[in-house]
Amino acid sequence: MGAGDPLGMSATHANAAGMGGMRAAGDLVARMQMTQGMRLPAAKQYVADRLGLSPSDLSDAPTMHEVRGELGLGRICYGGAALYPDQPSAMEAKFRIAEVLDVPVNCVERFRANAGV
C-alpha cells in the first residue's frame, strides 16, 4: 500500500476498498496471492470454493465471522462478548487455515517440525 499515518492511510484504504483482513477473509485471499501468485478473481474463487461460499461472501464481515468461528480460522477479539478463549487463534488458527485452504503455511510447517507434532 505505502506509507502514511494509520488513520488517514491504512484505515481509509481498508474502509474504501479493503477485504477486511480477518474481520472477513482478506487474509485467506492474501495467502493465495502471496504464495501462489494468484490474481484476485482466481484467489477469491479458490478460497470461496474451499469454504463453500461465493466470492462476494469473503468480504462480508458478519458472514465470515460465523464461518471463521465454525471452521476455527481465528476471529477478531476486542473485548466484551467478542472474546473466544476456547477457540483456535493465531498459530492454532493457522494450522486450520493451512488445512482448509490446502496450502502450506511456512510458520505452521516450522512449528510442527520444532514441536515434533
Question: Which stretches of the chain bind another protein, using CB under 8 A?
Answer: 1-23, 26-27, 29-31, 33-40, 43, 55-56, 59, 73-74, 76-78, 89-91, 93-94, 97, 104-107, 110-111
Residue closer to another protein, measured from CB, 2 or 52:
2
Residue closer to another protein, measured from CB, 1 or 52:
1
**Between the CA atoms of 51, 97, 73 and 66, what dihedral angle is there, to the nearest 10 degrees?**
0
Q: How far is the CB of 87 from another protein (least distance, A)?
A: 12
Q: How far is the CB of 108 from another protein (least distance, A)?
A: 9
For residue 111, the tally of other CB atoms under 10 A from its CB is 15
> Which contiguous run of DSSP H or E holds residue 79?
none
Helix segments in 52-89, DSSP class H: 61-71
